[in-house]
Structure 1
């Protein structure tokens, strides 16, 4: 069949009634999924009087659209401090947990030692315990350490992630044993093998788990709410939650929506930077056996 006929045949198959219906359904579902974000953006541009009057924007008098909510957010609330606190906490915790998880995954994948199977069973068992069950005992432990109202209580307990170690263990299985053996023959230490041989190969998993860890820490609310007591140390979720007043008329909904929208930006930026590694890393971790 000539190339021109191949192209025409492919185009004809591509636009069958079934594929048209499929594209329409996908388009409708995509529109429904972005509608909350469109509503959120519109909510940040409305004044207090129009907030409950219009679902989206007052199209009949767009002159009332304003950026005042963003201005008031930074003037009346320490939003920049909350943002900095969250970024610092997420960056520190993510760097630490990715490092330790990759080390643990490397050890589980490439070393054989007595009790390894039992250790992995115990690690799996710890994943079955909800974090809320350990909330009281964890608080008492942090109190005995003197870490209440300290970021140490938010960083150190979650620095070792069983989930992360298992992800990296699957990824580390792709590192050829021959490369590691050749490195040992050349005099490389085990730490140098992990840093210079294993990590470059599992780079997609590093990107994927960096994004997962960052998002988990960024959205964390319950544990920071229990630990942090000084308003200057609040993270974004706690700061935004404290803006909600019990009487509806006292809650600055416009500023709250503006803060919510701005809080999405760092995660979105990180996702766009790491999206290729995120998809490739999760795929590799799923298919390596």
Structure 2
């Protein structure tokens, strides 16, 4: 198998070490997404040995483990194109299945997302993260950019497992991963501690905050250990939603609720709340579509 087996339709994203494109397989016109890694540019800690003893990207390893998790993007195949010096992950094309990217939804919709919608998005994301944690995996980069939703069926799919790690180190190499500061908890961002399930609770809270308000909870995420989230004046968010956010943003990771407790929070289980329905003011919003990723030192 090689890249020549696919026809590229359009570019989706391009980074220092990876490129993501929308494509289709020539043999059967199967729509898919290709994510390929430049062999020369990627560091050794981004790879793990496969059962056959060959190197493979950690993301491909993670996707193999999550193949039965309905809330994770599915890897169709993985191969190395030796001539092009690329490792290639072939993913299902979520757009062709009616999914939309949550970050794109935020940028295209002039109104706030109502609480009931945020509630089911959080509920499905929590369910998927619990399945990942049961597999000894932490995602490490939960944010709207990495969440796809199918509104009519209330389904969620997580993507981008490039930073994912094992909760208890077993087969993957120890590594210093990057993070998206706006969604990272203070113990990871400032103290450089490993990601835990409690870290994912903070990221989930940051994601919920952005969905509800369309701006980040902290103007400077590096001060989140000594500041409170930047709630707007005359906030009409429900008590249940506000309490959910407060629990997620506890500065001490050991004091944050686990995902089992979060899944039973009234904000998650109560779908009868009214929308807060305010229009987005362009002068107020400070949401950056694709915040910079900071590499761990």
TM range (shorter): under 0.3
- Give me the TM-score of the superposition, normalised by structure 1: 0.24
Structure whose CA Rg is larger: 1
* Structure with the larger RCO, 1 or 2 (CA within 8 Å, 6+ apart): 1
- Give me the TM-score of the superposition, normalised by structure 2: 0.24
Q: Which protein is richer in strand relative to its size? A: 2
